[in-house]
Amino acid sequence: MATVSFDEISCVYPGAERPSVDKLNLEIGDGEFLVLVGPSGCGKSTTLRMLAGLEEVTSGSIMIGDRDVTHMPPKDRDIAMVFQNYALYPHMTVGENMGFALKIAGVNKDERAKRVREAAQMLDLEEYLDRKPKALSGGQRQRVAMGRAIVRSPQAFLMDEPLSNLDAKLRVQTRTQIASLQRRLGVTTVYVTHDQTEALTMGDRIVVLKAGELQQVGTPRELYETPANDFVAGFIGSPAMNLFPATLTEQGVQFGSTITPVDPGVRAKATSSQITAGVRPEDLSLVQNGEPGLEVIVDLVEELGADGYLYGHSADELGFQVVARVDGRVHPSGGDRVTLAPTSGRLHVFDAQTGLRLS
């Protein structure tokens, strides 16, 4: 096990106009589960591949423990990688696949068998050791790929969207298994995903990237409660935070026909009275028509059992989209006009020009 650190790391592909990863600084603790998340093309896989030695570093340095591995070949970095497409050898059995790296490293047959059995037991794969990968389901193949990484006892696990080929139910089940297994093994893990729900449920800390630049790093709760800018606010959370143009007055933020008080320091930091306001769907409540709030025309209500999500648009000339959590049993219908008001103290305020958090 080891710490991992990125010091001003950049990667510029030949012919590219801008860096895929731009001056990234990041410290990953010993035994930490860190998740890299962001939209397609944000540089998260490039970051992981630079750590693995599969992508050349343009500038900066990478440390694993006390070793500078920036220009070290992948085989000497003592890391194990789990890929999106499993990368299993089809002509080998599950047991042979899991023990292959040990065989190449010259580990004797008895020790190999012992370590493969231990990993198979952890992953509930004991009965499949003599089968070929084609006889396994997608979830079982992914567990074999995990087992192949575990038997090596590396200093760090690197995982590149390992669940994206699985169906929704299996993805939920497998992400729980991976997270609990990592806690048990205590191995430093860097996990790449574009799915922010995966990031929130699995990571000790989350790194949000956009266009190769670090936007914010923190615990899932920190990113959810205090996003550093409007990009993080709109990316983290499902459904995403409502973001809409609003006016900052002496009393607070104008929200439809009501004014929501905000910290006095917000006005001092704002570059103008025009700001971007944000509110989570669960922090919007239905109030009686005629009471102060934002008038919304309901487009549809998504029923999810006990809860539901109301999707609509503001009734004013701006017509911006709004999502609110409602009771799944008793709720308005499409075409209805309703009034929504934010929960006191739960409104987020961002600078309209820079996108940075003000509240």
CATH code linked to domain 239-351: 2.40.50.140
Instruction: Give the tokens for residue 307.
Output: 């809860």
Torsion of CA 130, 145, 205, 308, to 10 degrees: -80
**Amino acid, single-letter form, for residue 232:** V
Domain boundaries, the chain: 4-230, 239-351
Place of tokens 């305020």: 349
Helices 138-150 and 168-185: crossing angle in degrees, nearest 10, is 20
Q: Give the C-alpha separation, 138 to 143, whole Å.
A: 9
Cis amide bond preceding 239, omega within 30 = yes
Instruction: Give the tokens for residue 123.
Output: 């992953």
Burial label for 45, CB within 10 Å (0-12, 13-18, 19+), is buried
pLDDT score, position 105: 84
Q: Give the C-alpha separation, 298 to 272, whole Å.
A: 31
Cis amide bond preceding 264, omega within 30 = no
Residue-by-residue pLDDT tens, the chain, 359 positions: 689 999 999 999 998 889 999 999 999 999 999 999 999 999 999 999 999 999 999 999 999 999 999 999 998 999 999 888 878 899 999 999 999 988 888 888 999 999 999 899 888 888 999 999 999 988 888 889 889 888 888 999 999 998 888 888 888 888 888 888 899 889 999 999 988 889 999 999 999 999 999 999 999 999 999 999 999 999 999 899 999 999 998 888 888 888 888 888 888 888 888 999 999 999 999 988 778 889 999 999 999 888 899 999 998 888 889 999 998 888 888 889 999 999 888 899 999 999 999 97
Q: Give the C-alpha separation, 199 to 201, whole Å.
A: 6
pLDDT score, position 165: 80
Q: Give the C-alpha separation, 227 to 216, whole Å.
A: 8
CATH code linked to domain 4-230: 3.40.50.300
pTM: 0.89
**Amino acid, single-letter form, for residue 27:** E
